[in-house]
Structure 1
Amino acid sequence: MFAARSVLMFALLPLFAGCQLLPSQSADNKVSTAGMIRMQGILSGDSGKLYFSPCNEQRRYAVTDKGNTGILQEAASVVDKNGMAFADVRGNFVASKAQGSDGQADVFQLYRAERPSGACEDPNFKRLTIHAGGNGPKWSLNASGKGLVLERQGMEPFAVPYMEEQMPEGRFNLITDANDQHVELYVAPQRCVDPVNGSVQHLTAELRVNGQVQRGCAYFGAMRND
C-alpha cells in the first residue's frame, strides 16, 4: 500500500504543489453544481497529472480541481497496489484533443474516494438516495424511494417506510417508527473517513435506534442530486 501511494504521489508532485496554492471557496462564492454531470470512475496519476476514467470505459479525462475538493490528496490516501483509486464526483466533462487525454474533468464536488475493488459494479447505487454505514458493531442503511433497509451486525434486516426532515445548513434526518423500533438517521455535510477501510465520504451520519447511538459516514446515491 505504501509503495502504491508513493507511486501516485511522486507522479503528481507538480500538480500537488499547485493544488496547495488554490484559495478555498467561501460559502458566499461557492459555485452551484446544478446541471453538472455526476460520474463514477477510476483515478490514476501519470506524468504529473491526475486522470479520471469513467467506470467500464476507456476514456481518460485530465482532472482539474475547480471546487477545491482535495481530490488529489483524498485519492492518494486510498490508492490500491496499482496506484489507482475510485472516485464519485460531480463536475463538467469537456471533450478535447489534448495529448494524453480525451478531455478535461473540472471537478466541483467529491462524494467519495475509496479503493477501487468492486466499486464500479455496485448494484445498489443506481436506485439509492443515500447510503450510510459505520462500525463497532457494523451497521448499514440504504434508503430509496421505496423505503429504507437497516442492517446491523447480529440482527435481521429491518425494511420500513420513512419520512425525511430537512434542517439548516444542508443537514437532514430520516425518521421511522415501525415494529416497536424508533429509527433516526441524522446526516450532515461534513468530510468523514471510515476508520476500517479508509474511504472518504462527503457526509457524516449518526444512527439512533430506540435511543442507542452509532456513528458513521454516508454518501448520496444516484437518485439524489444534491
Structure 2
Amino acid sequence: MRSSRFILYSLLPLFAACQVWTPDKTDLNASTRLQGELSQQDGKLVFRSCSEQRRFSIEDSGNTGLPREAKTLFEDGASTLFVDLRGNFSGSTAAGTDGKLEVSKLYRLQNEGAGCDDPNFKRSIVRAHGNEPGWSVLINNQGLLLEQPGKPSLVVPYIAEGLPNGSTSYSSEANGEKLELWVAPARCQDGMSGALSNLSAELRVDSQVMHGCAYPGGSSGD
C-alpha cells in the first residue's frame, strides 16, 4: 500500500530564502547523522565533523563499504573527502584522535561539490541530479524545484507516495508539465564526479526519462 501526501504552499519565497546550515556540536551519546571531512592517518580513516575540530577514527560497524569507497576516491588524488553518514561514538580512543566513530549508514561520499557549506541541506527532503542531459531536483516541505541547463527553473507542488520497499515517488502535473521523480535505496555513483550516494533516481518529464543519483536531505527524518 502506498502512503501519500499533497504539498501545496507558498513555493517561491522558501526556495529564495534558504540559509546556510550550521550543524550542532557532535553528540557523543547518540546515534546521529553527521557531515564532515574524511582524511587518512597512518593508513586509517579519520573523521572531523563540520561543526568542530575533534577527530575520530572510523570503524565500519555497519559494513557500509566506506573504507573501500574512500580508498578509491583517495587513489584518484583527493587529500580529503566530504562524507555524510550515521553512526555512534564509542569510548575507546585511537592514537592521535579523540575517539572512535562506528559508522552504521553511509549517505554520501564525494571529493567535490557542496559539502559543509550546502545552503539547502537543512530544509531539503531529497536532492537528486543526473548528467547527459544535466538536471537537478530539490524537494522540501513546500515544493519541488527542477533545474536544467538552458531552461527556466520550475517550481511546483507535488504528491509524495512511498512504497514498502523504500522507494518514493514525487509527482506533479502543475503548470502543464507532467513530472515524476522516483528515488530508491541503492548504491549510486555519479559517472562524472565519482561521488557516491545511497539512493538511485529516475526523473520523468513528460515523455523524457533521465537517470541519476539522490540522497536524503536534513528534513527527511532519516
Deviation of the 1:95 alpha carbon: 5.2
- Between 82-91 and 125-134, the greater mean CA deviation after superposition: 82-91
What is aligned with 1:31?
A: none
Unaligned runs of 5+ in 2: 1-29
Q: Deviations over 1:148-180 (max 9, x none)?
A: 100012110000111110113111100111111
Measured in 1, the distance between the counterparts of 2:51 and 2:113 equals 13
1:143 counterpart = 2:139: yes
- Is the partner of 1:72 in helix, strand or coil? helix
Measured in 1, the distance between the counterparts of 2:113 and 2:93 equals 30
The structure 1 residue matched to 2:44, chosen from 18, 43, 49, is 49
What is aligned with 1:197?
A: 193
How is 1:181-220 mapped onto 2 (pairs within 5 angstroms)? 181-220=177-216
Q: Deviations over 1:67-103 (max 9, x none)?
A: 1001011112223745211110001124555431111
1:109 partner letter: K
1:212 partner letter: Q
- Is the partner of 1:140 in helix, strand or coil? strand
Measured in 2, the distance between the counterparts of 1:82 and 1:59 equals 21
Counterpart contact for 2:144–2:156, Cα < 8 Å: yes
Measured in 1, the distance between the counterparts of 2:78 and 2:149 equals 32
Q: Deviations over 1:166-208 (max 9, x none)?
A: 1131111001111110110011100011011110010000000
1:156 partner letter: P
- Is the partner of 1:66 in helix, strand or coil? coil
What is aligned with 2:20?
A: none
Runs of 4+ in 1 over 6 A off after TM superposition: none
Unaligned runs of 5+ in 1: 1-34
TM-score norm. by structure 1 comes to 0.80
- Is the partner of 2:186 in helix, strand or coil? coil
- Between 106-115 and 73-82, the greater mean CA deviation after superposition: 73-82
- Is the partner of 2:122 in helix, strand or coil? helix
Distance 1:70 1:223, change over 3 A: same
- Is the partner of 1:170 in helix, strand or coil? coil
Measured in 1, the distance between the counterparts of 2:101 and 2:221 equals 18
The structure 1 residue matched to 2:34, chosen from 14, 39, 42, is 39
Measured in 1, the distance between the counterparts of 2:167 and 2:198 equals 12
Counterpart contact for 1:84–1:116, Cα < 8 Å: no
Counterpart contact for 2:173–2:179, Cα < 8 Å: yes
Counterpart contact for 1:43–1:86, Cα < 8 Å: yes
- The structure with the greater share of residues assigned to helix is 1
- Is the partner of 2:105 in helix, strand or coil? strand
What is aligned with 2:152?
A: 156
Identity over aligned pairs, percent: 45
